[in-house]
């Protein structure tokens, strides 16, 4: 079994969930906008299917990022965040990433549920 370098786990744990949420938000907006546009009416987009897939895929990437952050956090649990670099910095980033990833997981779920519970293409 190949072991990933701690730096790769650290950086994926730090940015993976944020990028997953960003991708879900941008692609979801594009799909919802394309569903309402007259030019794309022949594309046959199903917003519900797209949003469910985006929510599940984004959630999976975010959960993997949380697992990576917890893996690094457990590997550096004997250290303090003020210890010399790179291990102290790795512990600090993993601690922040583990907390931040939970927020991004909730944001992915809430944005997906919000789009699914709202009717698209309503005039203002």
- Reported as a single tens digit per residue, the pLDDT across 55-97 is 999 999 999 999 999 999 999 888 776 777 777 888 889 999 9
Kind and range of the H or E element at 107? helix 87-117
Give CA torsion, residues 80, 81, 83, 86, to 10 deg.
120
Give CA torsion, residues 53, 57, 59, 63, to 10 deg.
160
**Residue 116 pLDDT:** 86
More confident residue, 103 or 4: 103
Prediction pTM value: 0.86
Tell me the C-alpha to C-alpha distance, in Å, between residue 100 and each of 59, 84, 96, 105, 119. Answer: 14, 23, 6, 9, 30
pLDDT range class, residue 2, cuts 50, 70, 90: low
């Amino acid at each position: 079994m190949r072991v990933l370098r701690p730096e790769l786990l650290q950086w994926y744990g730090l940015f993976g969930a944020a990028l997953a949420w960003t991708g879900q938000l941008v692609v979801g907006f594009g799909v919802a906008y394309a569903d309402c546009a007259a030019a794309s009416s022949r594309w046959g987009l199903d917003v519900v299917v797209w949003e469910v897939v985006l929510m599940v895929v984004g959630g999976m990437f975010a959960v993997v990022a949380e697992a990576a952050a917890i893996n690094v956090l457990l590997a550096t649990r004997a250290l303090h965040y003020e210890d010399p670099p790179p291990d102290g910095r790795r512990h600090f980033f993993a601690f922040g990433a583990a907390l931040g990833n939970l927020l991004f997981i909730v944001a992915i779920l809430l944005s997906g549920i919000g789009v699914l519970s709202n009717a698209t293409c309503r005039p203002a």
